[in-house]
Structure 1
Amino acid sequence: MFLFSTIRIGQSTLASNDLNEIVLRANPLQPKVVDVLMGHIRSQFTLNTPVDQSNQPLFFDTQFVADLTKMFPKFSKLSKKDTFRFSTNITERFTSNPQAERFYFPFNLDKLHWVGVCVDSASWSIVVMDCNIALRNDNLMSRELSPIADMFPFLLKLCRKQLVHKDGRALSIVRPRSILQNPCLADSAVSAVLLIQAHAVAGVDVCQCITPDVIGSEVERLSVMFYEATVGML
């Protein structure tokens, strides 16, 4: 168990019980804890990517997903979708890299299971990295993600992206079957974040390296790194 008050990771704050929650994984992780993990891989990717790589991906947190999906009821009622105006707390996420082609974020199902999501504007698809596909068949997963599939084309158009279908066609949803399965719900958040990291680095093939037996060691490595970065060497 880690004993401390709080540690800061990027712009996120992690309390000792939150870090212990990651280590123990007795229950599915809370969004605030998942956001810390997403913040970490975003910072690591930025540090290890050449500054002149203009199309490096963007990584979003759970609040982005919540804010976007809340807008869907109003969006769906409009006959002219391209007149819809997204809030600034959504659009400003794209300003750091207007040339990005891939957009990653975690997505939660029933407050129990997490999946990793990649919106790929180059292939016009949403790649769902799911370590437990038995929980949702393809039709149900498509229904869960339909607000994002429908809204993202118009969001990209608003943010002046170049690779946008002018007809506003919804993105297709793909769930690679090559991802190794892990039915443990408490592991799904860490699996989703690691799958996002792997996919961002080298695509879906390297996602096969995220196996159930590596979750424990990866969590221990991250937890020790978080602790030592703020508190000091163990």
Structure 2
Amino acid sequence: MSFTRTTEQDSNYNGLEQMSVSELLQHINTEDKTVPLAVENALPQIERLTQEVIKQLKQGGRLFYMGAGTSGRLGVVDASECPPTFGVPHGMVVGLIAGGETAIRKAVEFAEDSSTQGWADLQEHAITEKDIVIGIAASGTTPYVLHALEACNQNNIPTGSITCNAGSPVAQMSKYPVEVVVGPEFVTGSSRMKAGTAQKLVLNMISTATMI
């Protein structure tokens, strides 16, 4: 499968700085309306991944989310909300972000480019074959995520992913990929927008269907 970074392509809108606030909001809303449809197209993939998460948790395993930047923060948020929402133990769902706790609030330069830190972070949690790791990466190319999934595969740890470009390296590296192709962002390359919204929706679905 060929790989094109549609999330990085030029915006469908020109002259953003000349638009009124009303126009900006209307166009952003128009783009946001396409996200649930993109998620719908990925429902079979989401179901396969969710079923695997349920299987691993039933045998006493844990769910790990890992990502960088916005993707990492979304995983941390979903993990942190599982105990108060569903009454599950702290530590059943773990969110890891490139750069550690500091990166939740402030970008840590080059943290996402490490090819070893992702696996090292998982090892700190004594990762085992009972667990499952979901890599979250809008572009589908983040080294922190990619190489962690590769190490998981080598150690017989189930892997999934949530990406927003079709045929990305991260998706190909994971056993249960979810690809929600949202297309170019309103602000060129700003994957915190549609891609981030798509990832949040998928995370909501996985954790809710798993914990209920």
TM-score of the superposition, structure 1-length normalised?
0.34
User: Is the radius of gyration larger for structure 1 or structure 2?
Assistant: 1
TM-score, scaled to structure 2: 0.37
Q: Identify the structure with bigger relative contact order (alpha carbons < 8 Å, sequence gap 6+).
A: 2
